[in-house]
Structure 1
Amino acid sequence: MLIATTPAPGHVVSMVEVARELTRRGHEVRWYTGQTFQRQVEHAGAIFEPMSAGLDFGGRSREEAFPEHAGLTGLASFKIGVRDIFYRTAPGQLADLLSLLDRFPADCILADDMCYGACFASERTGIPLAWLSNSIYILGSKDTGPLGMGLPPSTSPLRRLRNDLLRFTGNQLAMRDLRQEADRTRDEVGLPRLGSGAMENIARPPDLYLVSTVPSFEFPRRDLLPGTHFVGGLFGLPPERFDPPGWWDELHEDRPVVLITQGTTANDVERLLVPAVRALADQDVLVVVTTGSNLDVDLLRPLPANVRLERFVPYHHLLPHVDVMVTNGGYNGVNAALAHGVPLVAAPATEENPDVAARIEWSGTGVVLPKRAVSEASLRDAVVTVLRDDRYRRQARALSEEHQRLDAPQRAAELIESLAAQGRVHTGGTAQ
């Protein structure tokens, strides 16, 4: 098995459990990704394969890796991010992977769903390709709006027509430059252009699409790609060692615990963390704030008496004590919360955050604040609402039970083994 992942935490974390399960079952697994993740790769039992021609930006924030992205917002941030992080890095990844495959003739390639160098390698060699999602189901559908708009599912004839019009308009206007970039990238690596719309004309669909959530958190579609399977949440391995912070015993006190997080990549402290901390300063709750790295935490000071600030606390240990998570809508964090039955308050910003938030609202597992409505008052009201209205917790617990019924690493490994055993030439999205 050859694994290939974009060198970013959200693209690596869900792969770790699957890699460990594949090695446990006796397969030789090599994993191509960034140097920062070598320890995680080897802890999973895989053989680390470093990036060479492929751009290794792991361990750096987006602005550090791509300084020209600083200050971008909205659609411009989304398109330039896709272009520079995923499209323009793919030819170098392809060169590395073809060289690797010359000395390691893999039976199957397993990649995150935006590691396009791996997609190109599968197309060039005929080796079957499996995707493991690092976010929402990204392929288009007549039953859903275009990616990035945060629209709910819409299956009526009129709404399906609306979806078609939105896709047409986006392909011809808003996303035209991204479609052209995908065409240029495929030209560069000697692959024929695809006639698909934006975000789908960069690579052929996979033979197997493993979606790392439960069916109840994804919009229903009548045109789901054959070979799609919802395997449940994949949240990485627990840390080898956990030293709890000094305030840990406070989690057992008789007051609700509110977790505020922006995940691992967002770095605008003032958009969510600052107003959320201030909003809850006078509430009878314990507030835990996890900042990730590269954040100017001085903007949060002086900290209210009920706030505990940490760069990182493993979700495996923290989420069983949390009553509400306040988030910008990061996919892995949201699914981790729901796997533990924790309801949500979401204030989505950019990238796919609005689409994740739309699924929170649709599934009834939390309150979503519109982008322009994020304020201290709205955040306070939303947290109080979720704490007091048991409907959100009941829905979150229902999804938690659904997660618990699935053994995600085992199911993913079984499906990957089946694909590898077929040993057939890639034909694009026809695996069963």
Structure 2
Amino acid sequence: MIPNLAVVAELVRRGNRVTYVTGESMADVVRAAGATVIGYDSIYHKADLRRLEDDPLGLISLFLDESRVMLESVGEEKADVVVYDISVLHAGRILARKWGRPAVQLIPVFASNEHFSYLSSIYGDGGAGGALPGWVDDMLARTATLARDHGVDVPPADLWWQVQDFSLVNLPRSFQFAGETFDERFAFVGPCLGERALGERSFLSDWTPPGDGRPIALLTFGTVASSRPDLFRTCVRAFGELPWHTVVTVPEAVDLGPLPSNVEVRRWVSHMSVLRHADVAVTHGGMGTAMEALYWGRPTVIVPATAIDGPPARRVAELGLGRVVDPAELTPERLVADVLAVVSDDRVRQATAAMAQEIREAGGTARAADELERYAA
């Protein structure tokens, strides 16, 4: 949700009417952005995500179930355009066909086309195509059943694999694998930050540096910290050995134990406000944090904790934007060495600065709203 909240606010500011289907846990945040909320009882919100991080069948099955509940919550009111996040593509694509309306998918991760498959890059052959896992057949059958339940008769493979008429991608084109092969059906608008960049009117609190002149690091593993607390604690110990100030964002459930005096733990804080001042970000490879770090031209050190983290880690390494540490080889000493290496490497500094410039030129929130309005018209 976070990558598109700023777009919602911008669309509303321009006089558009936005209705947002979301679980009740995020309803107030969506209302604050100016949208009308259609709430539903989210299955995803109740799921044990730690158990599903390396289980593609379980995770995609969860997304399919979430799509089913979302579709059940939507009444007969028809929008001009159906806009959907790719994680719930079943709901978005079925609803668009049911209503006979154009659709736009929002892609906060790597996009897929005839030349690159994001799903294969995680669980298959690295993204170049070829055979998909056997569990895909079961998911296709369930997708067909869901479509028929809503009066949509279309091959389930079309709902899943067919390149859509239009997509907004929250990456700059050069960060996308095989970016040169994507045509006008994809608008690479980069991260849509809006008010998050300013830390204003946000459910994430702002942050200001201590002002003591020490280098600053952001350490975040998102919800992965709950399932891999060992990796997270190792990273915390590493920064305890550096004369830096480290901001650690961590879920409520994670107990880090006694902390070094130079480590500040925050539960809900704007990463943008930290990264504005930071020298480096250490993360599991979440695309949102990676894009926010690159927006400010900050290098990253990635410790990929799950299969989903693999593609962003590979891309950061390929483009010289940071370093990747194999979790099996992670020690405080190894992490310290890699952090010091990336912040002192002129080539990394040049690469991250160039990517920051491309992110700004991609257009972000304003361009995303422009593209949506153009497509609707």
TM-score normalised by structure 2 residue count: 0.88
Matched, 1:80 2:55: no
2 CA distance for matches of 1:145 and 1:335? 20
1:152 is displaced (CA, Å) by 7.2
Partner of 1:66: 47
**Residue from 140, 145, 149 that aligns with 1:187:** 145
The one-letter code of the counterpart of 1:95 is: E
- With over 3 angstroms needed to count, the CA separation of the structure-2 counterparts of 1:220 and 1:40, relative to structure 1, is same
Which residue does 1:240 correspond to in 2?
A: 201
Q: Alignment partner for residue 71 of structure 2, among 94, 111, 124?
A: 94
**Aligned match of 2:92:** 118
Structure 1 pair 362–414 and aligned structure 2 pair: CA distance change class (3 A)? same
2:142 is aligned with 1:178: no
Q: What are the equivalent positions in structure 2 for 1:236-275 lying under 5 Å apart?
A: 237=195, 238-240=199-201, 248-250=208-210, 252-264=211-223, 266-275=225-234
Deviation for aligned residue 1:214: 0.9
**For residues 118 and 85 of structure 2, what CA distance do their matches in structure 1 show?**
22
SS of 1:367's equivalent in the other structure is strand
Distance, in Å, in 2 between the alignment partners of 1:72 and 1:106 is 33
1:235–1:332 contact (8 Å) kept in structure 2: no
2:42 paired with 1:56: yes
Once residues 53 and 27 of structure 2 are traced to their aligned partners in structure 1, the CA distance between those partners, rounded to angstroms, is 32
Secondary structure at 2:229's aligned position in 1? coil
The structure-2 alpha-carbon separation of the partners of 1:87 and 1:140, relative to structure 1 and needing over 3 Å to count, comes to: farther
Residues 193-232 of structure 1 aligned to structure 2 (within 5 Å): 194=155, 196=157, 202=160, 204-221=162-179, 223-224=181-182, 226-232=184-190
1:134 aligns with 108
Match of 1:43 among 1, 14, 32: 32
- 1:424 maps to which residue? none
CA contact 1:179–1:201 (8 Å) conserved in 2: no
Deviation at 1:312?
A: 2.3
Instruction: Describe the SS at the equivalent of 1:48.
Output: strand
Contact 2:50 2:224 in 1 (8 A): no
State the AA in 2 paired with 1:176.
G
Q: Deviations over 1:237-291 (max 9, x none)?
A: 334278767xx552x3332111110124541352432111112222222221111
Q: Which runs of 5+ in 2 are unaligned?
A: none
How far is the alpha carbon of 1:415 from its aligned partner? 1.5
**Distance 1:181-1:121 versus aligned 2 partners, 3 A rule:** same
Q: CA deviation at 1:145?
A: 8.7
The 3 A distance-change label for structure 1 pair 351 and 39 is: farther
2:249 matched residue in structure 1: 290
- Does the 8 Å CA contact 2:5/2:30 hold for their aligned counterparts? yes
Equivalent residues of 1:152, 1:359 under 8 A apart? no
Cα offset, 1:318, TM superposition: 1.3
Partner of 2:346: 390
1:23 equivalent in alignment to 2:23: no
CA 1:289–1:269 in structure 2 vs 1: closer, same or farther (change >3 Å)? Answer: farther
Identify if the C-alpha distance between structure 1 residues 374 and 47 changes in structure 2 by more than 3 Å, giving closer, same or farther: same
* Aligned 8 A contact 2:205 2:268 in 1: no
Instruction: State the shift of 1:187 in Å.
Output: 2.1
Distance across 2 between alignment mates of 1:371 and 1:138: 27
1:79 CA displacement: 2.4
**Which string of whole-angstrom CA distances, capped at 9 and with x for unpartnered residues, describes residues 299-327 of structure 1?**
x2211122111112212321111001000
SS at match of 1:147: helix
The residue type equivalent to 2:68 in the other structure is P
Runs of 5+ unmatched residues, structure 1: 1-11, 154-162, 422-432
Matched residues, number? 369
Distance in 2 separating the partners of 1:150 and 1:275: 30
Measure, in 1, the Cα distance between the counterparts of 2:266 and 2:118.
Answer: 38
Structure holding more helix per residue: 2
CA RMSD of aligned residues (A): 2.7
Note the alpha carbon deviations across 1:9-41, whole angstroms, 9 max, x for none: xxx111111111211221111111111222222
Once the two structures are superposed, the pairs formed by residues 156-175 of structure 1 within 5 Å of their partners are 163-164=128-129, 167-168=130-131, 171=132, 175=133
| 1:371–1:126 distance in 2 versus 1, CA, 3 Å | farther
Between 1 and 2, higher relative CO (CA 8 Å, sep ≥ 6) is seen in: 1
The SS at the match of 1:329 is coil
**Using the alignment, how far apart are the partners of 2:205 and 2:181 within structure 1?**
47
SS at match of 2:301: strand
Q: Identify if the C-alpha distance between structure 1 residues 113 and 244 changes in structure 2 by more than 3 Å, giving closer, same or farther.
A: closer
Task: State TM-score, norm by structure 1.
Answer: 0.78
